[in-house]
Structure 1
């Protein structure tokens, strides 16, 4: 939701950063890989019980993840390979955060909830990617970007809450699962509508 409706407010900063990195001779794919490595570093930092630093590093990763797409569009180098890297690395970063929290909280109830969260993310991403692949609708991205309640920014907010308030991890994880499943239903209903048109 925030990616779809709030991007306009941060896009000028994203574009300035993208132009600056392009002037330095960096490519969109190089920034995609950098965002991935920074995101993985966030998981390691969180595992070693540095939640504030871990969350800050996670958000830097997320910012770079937004910048790489703008770089590709500005330099007219958007590619299917870049999209595959971007989407795959995003999921690896998310899995890394879940694994870091699971290693820090091996209690069965929390592990079960984290497993449900990972499963809900897989289900919702399957819907998102499948609709993007079969839809004729266009967006500025290389495939149809289906909006929903939980997009990348909401995921980062929820992960931040999970990391910063680990004494409430059960409740924040349940909240994240609920929001993911709600988003999945939103996207299924929209898919039914647009694919029957």
Structure 2
């Protein structure tokens, strides 16, 4: 929901360290993979209930997620890099939910399971529409430099980061917080299904369209 408004600000911030990485010869894909591996450390840290440390690696992962795009814009934007970025992002999101499940199976199992199903809903609607939108040449002016068509919604990147921060700060309330976030995510998924279906039901034109 807030991503389009925050994007110009975050890009200016991450561009500074991105210049340094480019001078060192670090590629965007290397930043993506490194950030993913760092993010996966959240699983054992959450399982061991080291919530502050888990929050640190989660935030480092999200920083890397912004840095890889900044590095790519200063070197070369590629479809392969965009593909790698989004796939690892969704795996990371699910891994965080799994980490909370391991931390307190009796209290968190159902809520974490609901969150995993929810991420499947938001991820599937996002990726399915992106694949067909690319085929049809549908553009999204809010994200002109993205490799994939980004469908907006109530919960996007910023809201997901915020949810993870809240989970780590108040882990004893994870179940309730996860249910609340899941409801917001399902609002996103349902609105994407409706908007995507209506958009794709329209006849294909020779020109390119924006949504």
Structure 1 length as normaliser, TM-score? 0.92
Q: Secondary structure at the match of 2:41?
A: helix
Q: Could you tell me how far apart the structure 2 residues matched to 1:57 and 1:116 are?
A: 23
2:122 corresponds to which of 117, 121, 124:
124
Q: Secondary structure at the match of 2:155?
A: coil
Where does 1:21-40 land on structure 2 (aligned, <5 Å)? 21-40=21-40
Q: Could you tell me how far apart the structure 2 residues matched to 1:165 and 1:184 are?
A: 26
- Deviation digits for residues 43-80 of structure 1, max 9, x if unmatched? 2222222212211221111011111012112212x222
1:189 corresponds to which of 188, 191, 194:
194
2:108 corresponds to which of 107, 110, 125:
110
**Partners of 2:126 and 2:151 within 8 A in 1:** yes
Task: Let me know the Cα RMSD of the aligned residues.
Answer: 1.5
Q: Secondary structure at the match of 2:152?
A: coil
Q: Could you tell me how far apart the structure 2 residues matched to 1:144 and 1:89 are?
A: 17
Q: Secondary structure at the match of 1:146?
A: coil
| Cα offset, 1:18, TM superposition | 1.5
Where does 1:51-130 land on structure 2 (aligned, <5 Å)? 51-76=51-76, 78-107=77-106, 110-130=108-128
2:166 corresponds to which of 135, 156, 161:
161
| Cα offset, 1:84, TM superposition | 2.3
Q: Secondary structure at the match of 2:182?
A: helix
Structure 2 residue aligned with 1:180:
185
Structure 2 residue aligned with 1:133:
131
Gaps of 5+ in 1: none
Runs of 4+ in 1 over 3 A off after TM superposition: none
Structure 2 residue aligned with 1:15:
15
Structure 2 length as normaliser, TM-score? 0.86
| Cα offset, 1:5, TM superposition | 1.9
